[in-house]
A and B are shown apart, each in its own frame.
Chain A
């Protein structure tokens, strides 16, 4: 266990340095932030002064060393656009993104598990096909289209739910549904496929011959067996999920890190970009660590191997 934690911690450090370095050079290749800050009427002198005040007149090596130093102390400097320390800005918005992602993820699992099992068990029935049709639809439509559709129906026509922001308690519903739709659909299809595969295994036949009820076989045995490959997929999806949240946040004006990151890219706000990517990288690596630990909990074979 300690070895796993240690290796993940090492991985976290390497990932952060790797991503940070890549980002450092990529954003600098993209152009000069002084131009974006100065605006279209600024004088050349003004632009030069801004570059100097931001330390952008130093050599790229000097800037990189200073960046690495900042990375160690988690001090990414002040955002060029917000004139505030970058990391606190990110940390202020991050809980909103995490809340949205968590609810959406939970929703995807809560819907996909029974829907996938149902579609597998009732694979030849009309209702089973309807479930699969919905899952195909959910997987084909981008989250922002689903978001706009939900807004039109539930905010504009029915006026049941707020269309933007996170002030009301019900504000979470539409963004989380929009964000979870693709995942929900994907997991429903995968759970169905894994479930069908497991249904033909010997242990299922044995269970049946021993007189176990179907729900017992499904939920206690099959579900446990398919949860290992599902967890692998979840680990891969978590990174993508944060990316999807950025788009959904823009549609619902959800005050997460999405809008901050989009603005940071537009304005070439290096400190904010670096702090944001750092936070996301840490989050993804930590979530993957949790997934790894869950493997140990769920699968005794992996536990035995580690021990």
Chain B
């Protein structure tokens, strides 16, 4: 199936249905622009998927008779003001610093990338944004052609066109600019303006995830950006996202109002206010007192209180995996049986039930949650089996009570990180061969030093971290971290067969079965070698008052700012 499509194509309906269906199996790079098929009241197929039609957000929802139909929640602005209590906001409105929440709330609201990833179903579905369509050039899979939306302009009057796309990508790729997102586009080798509304992007090798990655890189007005310089521009940015920032006090508040220059949609709420309330209990109190309509990062112990007070709770499984790298360079952990034993000794479900209030998901022995591309159904989690774990330790010749281990953990960086570290260390101490597991809690800057293997503190036996799949939402990027010589995973693990499988997968189309097979092979090797102690996919919990018309959080942990509103 070609990935290229035109909005007015008479076969669009058929094409779109096929694309949408395919996307749900996790293998799509192009998806519908919808104008021709989606209209309020007409049937839709996938619940929660959102489409932007003639400036209105339509959401696939169940109607009173149980049918799935495109549902319009509000006409633009009718949702009034929505106030969101948030633990932290980015310190600037910079577009190119990072792509994960909370930065992504701001970036997706103010700016537009070439594409937009709809994650409402848990599976990435690619939608048009600054680009109407995109395709790989015939016979040259390393070249992507993007057709830019026509007749749109930035608030300062500059046109949204291929020049703007090129200038924006050039800026990100220039190492002098220190753009955090540069790491995501390192393999782009050339950006050509083919015509006013067409841009060609070449990568060093076929890169099937490129349209997905480009959803996170905003297109900015090139002249204004060059005139003002980045620092000045970020203070008062202009973009073509659904909102414009009308006031911003770093660390205190961000006010967004509907942007008349929005490329695709007019949001339901006329105003969204983010209020920074760092203290968890204060944030929950702000919701309960009516000071805010929605809160982020609901602590596990507050969920039942909020539920009983009749608040709406939204919990998602983050596209991130809580794992522990095992230092396999020397000592007992260099024996894979010991590493396997550790995996058998940890009761992951207990971490979910006991620490995370029943929320989250046990991680299979893989680096991404189910639903994302590259997930392998045949590679499952190590079951909790203490007897088997002890047998493996015995087989590895580890004497009783001989192991004294250190577990390095962050604090307040990953949901319930310290509690999980303590619980896991206690579980490991139940192994006959383990005498003690000392939890070493690292302040964030020290934690980063250990992560980068640059500080005075070395990485020790177990190092817990949160492996995020954002923005690619695919297994490959994460699995590459365990290939031989990867800079920040220097734990002494190396397996040539694993490297071969990963390299082979990297060169294949994201939807090809051959790629999935290679990723599955690599996942099996990784599970067998167990350089990781797999934990859980962490939960991300939001709460809102019942007066909200639509409170939705996607699998990437992003709140749907476009269709939320007060009734």
Contacts and interface: CB of A to CB of B under 8 A. Distances in A.
Interface in A246-289: 250-253, 255, 259-260, 262-263, 266-268
The DSSP consensus for interface residues of chain B is mixed
A109 interface: no
Interface stretch (A40-48, A57-65, A186-194): A40-48
A39 B291 contact: no
Given A50-B178, A148-B281, A148-B282, A31 B251 contact: no
B289 A156 contact: yes
B183 A41 contact: yes
A36 B251 contact: no
B455 interface: yes
The DSSP consensus for interface residues of chain A is helix
Interface residues of B, number: 47
A162 B289 CA distance: 8
B291 A162 contact: yes
Given A39-B98, A82-B250, A32 B449 contact: yes
A164 B180 contact: no
Contact of B276 (A41, A43, A253): A253
B445 A156 contact: no
Contacts of A268: 445
A50 B446 CA distance: 18
Interface string B281-311: 1100110111100000000000000000000
Given A38-B180, A259-B278, A266-B444, A155 B285 contact: yes
Nearest to B444: A266
A268 B445 CA distance: 8
A199 B239 CA distance: 72
Interface string A157-170: 00100111100000
A240 B13 CA distance: 68
Contacts of B281: 148, 151, 251
A1 interface: no
A227 interface: no
Interface residues of A, number: 50
B455 A82 contact: no
A148 B448 CA distance: 32
A152 B285 contact: yes
Nearest to A262: B278
B92 A83 contact: yes
A46 B94 contact: no
B176 interface: yes
A35 interface: yes
A32 B91 contact: no
Interface in B254-301: 275-279, 281-282, 285-286, 288-291
B451 interface: yes
Contacts of B252: 165, 253, 255, 259
Nearest to B85: A164
B251 A259 contact: yes
Contacts of B290: 159
B175 interface: yes
B182 interface: yes
Contacts of B468: 40
B278 A250 contact: yes
A260 B251 contact: yes
Contacts of B25: none
B451 A83 contact: no
A75 B403 CA distance: 53
B180 A41 contact: yes
A30 interface: yes
B555 to A, nearest CB: 19
B24 to A, nearest CB: 28
Contacts of A36: 444-445, 448
A35 B186 contact: no
Interface of A: 30-33, 35-36, 38-47, 49-50, 53, 78-79, 81-84, 89, 144, 147-148, 151-152, 155-156, 159, 162-165, 250-253, 255, 259-260, 262-263, 266-268
29 contacts: A30-B445, A30-B446, A31-B449, A32-B449, A32-B455, A35-B449, A42-B180, A42-B183, A43-B182, A45-B175, A46-B180, A46-B182, A82-B92, A84-B231, A144-B279, A151-B289, A155-B289, A156-B288, A159-B290, A164-B286, A164-B291, A165-B252, A250-B279, A252-B282, A255-B252, A262-B278, A263-B91, A266-B445, A268-B445
Interface of B: 85, 91-92, 94, 97-98, 175-176, 178, 180, 182-184, 186, 231, 234-235, 249-253, 275-279, 281-282, 285-286, 288-291, 444-446, 448-449, 451-452, 454-455, 468, 487-488
A-B interface, 9 closest residue pairs, ranked by CB to CB distance from nearest: A155-B289, A81-B91, A253-B277, A255-B252, A151-B285, A35-B448, A31-B445, A156-B288, A82-B91
